[in-house]
Structure 1
Amino acid sequence: MSQSPILTLVSRSYCHLCQEMEVALRPLLAEFDIDLEVLDVDADPTLEALYDELVPVLLHDGEELCHYFLDDRKVRDYLGEIR
């Protein structure tokens, strides 16, 4: 049995867009049986250098799927391809 893919959300605690993206992701996570890890951009200097002003950023295996807002269609199509 293969392990569920993991999406990564680069986020920060006081970011309303980050919170909104995480909430918007929930139905897709359930539908595609995908796990989500949330990384605090402010806790990692490397992440901060890469994504500071772009958060929230949704990644899979280092590939950026979207930032600022969830691109539902793009993420849905992507998840359909990797499942």
Structure 2
Amino acid sequence: MPVSLPRVTLIAKPGCHLCDDARAVIERVTADLGVGWVEHSIADEPALAEQYWEQIPVTLVDGRQHDYWRVDEARLRAALGG
């Protein structure tokens, strides 16, 4: 199944164990549903650091904030129509 343009964005930072957990959930869900995703690091993007510093990791779905700190797999699947 071809992967679509990214619908999920993970905003993370290096060395963040919650980010690692979120990434694993996002990878699993998006692979199952054939949905694209992308990751941005607050270490590389100062505007994101300013906006999301206290909520990392942050998950966006279709450009809107979906979750922060943890990603609920069932909730993410539901948001993506799966």
- TM-score between both structures, scaled by the size of structure 1: 0.84
Equivalent position of 1:70 in the other structure: 71
Aligned-pair CA distance for 1:18:
0.3
**Does the CA-based 8 Å contact 1:17-1:69 persist in structure 2?**
yes
Q: Secondary structure at the match of 2:23?
A: helix
Q: Secondary structure at the match of 1:27?
A: helix
Tell me which amino acid in the other structure corresponds to 1:34.
V
**Does the CA-based 8 Å contact 1:65-1:74 persist in structure 2?**
no
Q: Structure 1 CA distance, aligned partners of 2:78 and 2:5?
A: 14
**Does the CA-based 8 Å contact 2:61-2:79 persist in structure 1?**
no
Equivalent position of 1:53 in the other structure: 54
Tell me which amino acid in the other structure corresponds to 1:4.
S
Q: Secondary structure at the match of 2:81?
A: helix
Q: Secondary structure at the match of 1:59?
A: strand
Give unmatched runs, 5+ long, in structure 1: none
Aligned-pair CA distance for 1:67:
0.8
Q: Which one has a larger percent helix, Structure 1 or Structure 2?
A: 1
Q: Structure 2 CA distance, aligned partners of 1:56 and 1:75?
A: 14
Aligned residues: 80
Q: Does 1:4 align with 2:4?
A: yes
1:30-50 deviation line (CA, Å, top 9, x unaligned): 111011211011211110111
**Does the CA-based 8 Å contact 1:11-1:39 persist in structure 2?**
yes
Work out the percentage of aligned pairs sharing the same amino acid: 27
